[in-house]
A and B are shown apart, each in its own frame.
Chain A
Amino acid sequence: MGVLELRDVKLELGGKAILNGLSVDFWEGHIHALIGPNGAGKSTLAGAIMGLPDYRHMEGDILLDGESIRDLPVDERARRGITLAWQEPARFEGLRVDKFVLAGAKDRSADTVRRVLQRVGLDPEKYAKRSVDKTLSGGERKRIELASILAMEPRVVLMDEPDSGIDVEALTRIFDALADFKERGATVIMITHSEEVLRHAEHAFLLCNGCIIRKGSAGRIDDYFADKCAHCDHENVPVEEEVAAVVE
């Protein structure tokens, strides 16, 4: 039994099925990867697990420690230990990095700010008083978001494309953070299109058309990157189209 279990999860957006009866267990203390083509439903799955408003109408169930969380709002799921690192972190005009980092921190001390910023390779003296706004690069915001998650000490971390838009140094820091999560016994679920990121996972799931079509050790799944999905005729719905469907 996994720490996080999905049972026959179905989700439609704009009349289009995005998740098609998906059942999967995520094991406690393991690093999992979700791979698959654009529109396969990976980000939607992360949003459904987090309980984001656009995905709350899902069918099926999500269990944390065997208990259903499907009716819980985002903040309650977070208080139970689930959190999400966004592919494109939000900007917060005027909100200082230290306040952002401490927003959900377990230990709300200045030491925590220093520790987690250093862990993601950012100098606390330079960054703690800056704003989480457009003056920071995407990579810097990504690292600051990760720092805020380290401070939170979550049990389940959803990471949507942790490597997108960042440089090699930042990616190294993200792998360091992964090691921290692993050491603390947290469960990590990474969405990725990168073989390098996949190599840091222990288990991987290949999604296509809202279903898990393969699962196993990361080494067994990586042939996906060798175009094993190239001839798939499933119609996947890229996330931009999902959002457009919701807006309509």
Chain B
Amino acid sequence: MSTPTQAQVATARDLLASLGDLGGHIKGDDIAHLEVHGNEVVGSHLVPGLSIDVDELDDGIEAWIHVGKGVRIDKPVHMCFGMLPTEGLQRIVMHVEADEDSFASVQAHCTFPNAIDITHKMDAEVKIAPGATYEYFERHLHGAEGGVIVVPRTKVHVGEGGRFKTEFELIKGMAGVIDFDYEVDCDAFSTLDMITRIIGRGHDRVRINEVGHLNGEGAKAVLQSHLALRDDASAEIYNTLTASAPHARGHVDCKEIVQGRATAKAVPVVEVNHPLAHVTHEAAIGSVDSKQLQTLMSRGLDEDAATDLIIEGLLS
């Protein structure tokens, strides 16, 4: 990646400024970072053991991220994707390879503060070698219009004893349309931890499809989807967890708070193909729990404040 121009530096600054108190995008010599505005890399910094190669496409970027064998990147790698204009398409194609016994944690912020008609697509392929850990926390900031279509598609393979943790969070601004699709294959003694937290408002439409395959002995997974929906928002959540090896363990947890005219559907699918495997699920959809509400109201909070606090907890 080449040294950014003055104009690119200014764009990167504006992009990061749009994150506001979502924050967390920290810079420093020992902190790797990458900023992509539309199809342009406007800022980057690498640390030893981490390589990021980027091709700029017509409508986005294609990136190859590699964490070397045994490399431990102690401080989170910060990535910022987004677009400042009101309209456009940003496509991120990402190939991640975490070599054996490596560790990397990525804090990705996706910001579309002025969106009216923006599509943000992510096609990612993640290969986590045996003993490696790769964490990917993606936080979205959308504007008040909700004019964003977010389409993340990710396929992950976790090698023996490896670990993949991912969180997708959209709790600020209008979600718009989210069509989320993750599929993870887990080898023996690997761990998968997938969390989705979304607040839907207005006419937001959310579709989540999370699939985990516990293929190896002793593989473990937790899939969690916590959503709060209000106004006319709607959501469909499909969580699928299959366990096909001895001592594979998994749990699916889907909780949705629905208010106003919002609607929600949860479809947890658990499939066990080995007598020594064990998978559980729980799904709860409904209004705010009345006892929680009454408890907080009996401390003096009005109904709206109590509801907000309950939702804040659920999505924390």
Contact = CB atoms under 8 A, between A and B. Distances in A.
Interface in A60-81: 73-75, 77-79
B144 interface: no
Contacts of A96: 313, 316
Interface string A38-62: 0000000000001011000000000
Nearest to A91: B292
A60 B310 CA distance: 34
Nearest to A148: B299
A95 B312 contact: yes
Contact of A78 (B297, B312, B313, B315): B297
Contacts of A84: 298
A15 interface: no
Q: How big is chain B's contact interface, by range?
A: 20 to 34
B255 interface: yes
Given A92-B292, A93-B255, A50 B312 contact: no
B23 interface: no
Contact of A103 (B226, B255, B303, B309): B309
Contact of B316 (A52, A74, A94, A145): A94
Contacts of A29: none
B3 interface: no
A93 B313 CA distance: 6
Interface string A123-157: 00000000110000000000001001100100000
A197 to B, nearest CB: 21
A210 B255 CA distance: 39
Given A95-B310, A99-B309, A74 B297 contact: yes
A77 to B, nearest CB: 8
Given A74-B294, A86-B291, A99-B309, A93 B299 contact: no
A103 B296 contact: yes
B299 A103 contact: yes
Contacts of B299: 78, 83, 103-104, 148-149, 152
Given A84-B298, A86-B295, A103-B301, A94 B314 contact: yes
A245 interface: no
B289 interface: yes
A77 B300 CA distance: 8
B56 interface: no
Nearest to A50: B298
A129 B30 CA distance: 29
Contacts of B291: 86, 90
Contact of A53 (B294, B310, B315): B294
A2 interface: no
Contacts of A90: 289, 291-292, 295
A91 B292 CA distance: 7
A121 interface: no
Interface string B271-302: 00000000000000000011110111111111
B300 A78 contact: yes
Given A52-B294, A86-B291, A104 B312 contact: no
A185 interface: no
Contacts of A95: 309-310, 312-314, 316
Given A95-B313, A149-B299, 7 more contacts: A53-B290, A53-B294, A75-B301, A77-B298, A90-B292, A94-B314, A104-B296
The 9 closest A-B pairs by CB, nearest first: A104-B299, A95-B313, A94-B313, A78-B300, A94-B316, A75-B297, A74-B297, A104-B300, A90-B291
Interface of B: 226, 255, 289-292, 294-303, 306, 309-310, 312-316
